[in-house]
Structure 1
Amino acid sequence: MGRYRFILWRPLQLVPVLLGVSLISFLLVHSIPGDPVRVLLGTRATASVIEATRAQYGLDQPLALQYLYFLKNLAAGEFGKSIIFKVGIPKLVVGRIVPTLFLLGYAILLSVVIAIGLAVLAALYRGRLPDQLVRVYSTAGLGLPAFWLGIVLIILFSIELGLFPVSGYGETPLEHLHHLFLPSLTIALALSPVLIRNLRASLLVEMEADYVKAARSRGIAEARIFRRHVFRNSLIPTITLLGVNIGWLIGGTVVVEQVFSVPGLGSLMVSSIFARDYLVVQVVTLAFALAVILTNFIVDIVTVALDPRIKL
């Protein structure tokens, strides 16, 4: 149990990280040109109405005081109300978080399947045609922008072949799988090249390790050595790399949700930024930061569980 002692103190790091994220997001969103009250009321609103609305939402206070009020409300569980959507922010975020979580889980699953399949193929056929093709894909895939890849997939599979919807989320779980396949595949095709390169390299190193040679000399079947030893040990750095890339993955959903019109947190953040809906942007940013921290925490636990030699 000593190896898992970090589980007790690691959550304490959550507080300063979230405070830093909240401060940076607060300063950045308030530096965006424009006034959310004018966006809300339109160009014909009188000066008195604008000032009254600013006072209603606390936007007439100094920035430092607004930030302190924001922290105070967060500590009390009061997230405020969206200026543009006119509903409580918790209700707004909860309504949008499920599509984003579904998309993230779907994309991670596809990324892992693609990465494991192609990396194992490349390692087993090292130097031959399958390995060369996988290496070309993993190199070319690093330079493909997610928004461009999404548009290409829409043109090919939605418009030309009519196999998948252009946008939306669907109503039932099966419809979710159908509607979100192309968005998830877009993210997976952008993420998997990094995982493939890492896993392929780890597999090749493990396949030449001394303990593998010793197992072969004892007559143990190659498939059993690969499955029980080589593959498991090679997964550890790849899992760590996947955890590091979760931040990029979450950021990628913002762009992909816009391309495919998925009603998730990413599209909510973009629309809130354009509308200068400060509170919504800050809360969604904190939600993304919390997701990244918790994911890295889970990755640390899995890494320690896979390799008894690792201590955090």
Structure 2
Amino acid sequence: MLLNRLVDSVITVILVVTLVFVAMRILPGDPAVAALGDSATAEQLASFRERMGLNVPLWHQYLDFLVNIVTLNFGTSMITGENISAMLLANLPYTVELTVAAMIIGMIIGVPIGVLSAVKRGSFPDYIARIIALAGFCIPDFFLGALILIVFGLKLDLFPVTGGGTDFPSRMQHLVLPAMTLGLVMAAFTSRLTRSALLEVLKRDYIRTARAKGVTERWVIYKHALRNALIPVVTGFGIYILTMLSGSIAIELIFARPGVGSVLINGINSRDYPMVQAGLLVFALFVVVVNIAMDLLYVLIDPRLRRAAR
């Protein structure tokens, strides 16, 4: 099963890379003019195209692009001349730590609230939890990020509001507000998903049987019900992580935080072909890694999948 997923993932990455390559080259405009400006001479434009490999046929550019991907050589920026691989390597840890921190916050807050809401269905805590989750869905992440920045950064002055930090303590301080923003939005989604999944599991016959045998309610909830309810939660959680990538780009811009999203936006604004291609490839690989991780979590959670995988 895992081997099949790896093959599917490779095919997906190739399709994404091909789509990005074609889309960037059918857009109107000349990248040489975008890089050098309208005042550039014909000789300067021709020299730039030759240096960046834009004067060869598209199929040749595509093959060169695939070779560069395999060798992790993304070339240099058309605008700044910097090494793209080095830029991505320097910015990738900021995006990864933001995503991981938001996931942890979303799970730590969302799952317990969802369990409480399901167990106390129809009670006052259930209504409060559902209202908070609904508010989390309604508030855009960039708007919530601006509010958190103003309140905790500018008004209370508890955390830095811009940058990503240098050493470990400063990076953790700069991470709090962006991770809190994405984590709270994810917690709203996770709590609703956990509630609905757990309510469905609590209706099953084996739950009634466990209660009839005198098993404590806490053991029924956390040992029998929650473990089975986590399967759809993990599925939805994995899908939401992928949609959270767009939110991470907005959050990086709001908090002036380094990351792959910031690099990608700069590349799009300047129409830097190599930069945009490399940035989108990183996000595509991130999607593939998340999907494989979700499959592995399914196997860990559900014993039936472990037996089927043997």
Answer whether TM exceeds 0.5 for this pair. Answer: yes
- Give the counterpart of 1:248 among 237, 243, 248: 243
- Contact (CA 8 Å) 1:29, 1:273: kept in 2 or not? no
SS of 2:214 mapped into structure 1: coil
CA RMSD of aligned residues (A): 1.8
Q: What is the TM-score of this pair, normalised by structure 1?
A: 0.92
Q: 2:98 aligns with which of 98, 103, 128?
A: 103
Secondary structure, aligned partner of 2:304: coil
Provide the residue aligned with 1:163 in structure 2: 158
Question: Is structure 2 residue 104 aligned with structure 1 residue 114?
Answer: no
1:25 matched to 2:20? The reply is yes
Distance, in Å, in 2 between the alignment partners of 1:33 and 1:74 is: 25
How many pairs were matched up? 307
Is 1:215 matched with 2:198? no
Q: Which amino acid aligns with 2:163?
A: G
Distance of 1:283 and 1:79 partners within structure 2: 6
In the aligned structure 2, how far is the partner of 1:160 from the partner of 1:287? 36
Residues 1:307 and 2:305 aligned together: no
Report Cα offsets for 1:184-216 as digits up to 9, x if no partner. Answer: 121122222222111101112222322222222
For structure 2, list consecutive stretches of 5 or more residues without a partner in the other structure.
Answer: none
Q: Displacement of 1:283 after TM fit?
A: 1.3
Matched, 1:290 2:288: no
Which amino acid in structure 2 is aligned with residue 280 of structure 1?
Answer: M
For the 8 Å contact 1:153–1:182, the answer to whether it is kept is yes
State the AA in 2 paired with 1:198: L
CA distance in 2 between counterparts of 1:87 and 1:190 reads: 35
Counterpart-to-counterpart distance in 1, 2:228 and 2:202: 10
Q: Deviations over 1:211-247 (max 9, x none)?
A: 2222222222211222211221111110111112221
The answer on whether the counterparts of 1:138 and 1:193 sit within 8 Å (CA) in structure 2 is yes
Deviations 1:109-144 (A, max 9, x none): 111112112112212221111111111122232222
How far residue 15 of structure 1 moved from its aligned partner, in angstroms, is 2.3
Which residue pairs with 1:81 in the alignment?
Answer: 76
Structure 2 CA distance for aligned equivalents of residues 31 and 96 of structure 1: 28
Within 2, Cα distance between the matches of 1:305 and 1:60?
51
CA contact (8 A) 1:35 1:276 kept: no
1:30 deviation in Å? Answer: 2.9
Mapped partners of 1:59, 1:147: distance in 2:
37
Separation in 2 of the partners of 1:23 and 1:61? 17
- The 8 Å contact of residues 142 and 194 in structure 1, kept in 2 or not, is answered as yes
Deviates more, 1:196-205 or 1:140-149: 140-149
Please name the residue that 1:230 is paired with.
225
Determine the structure 2 residue equivalent to 1:45: 40
Amino acid corresponding to residue 227 of structure 1 in structure 2: Y
Most deviating of 17-26 and 70-79: 70-79
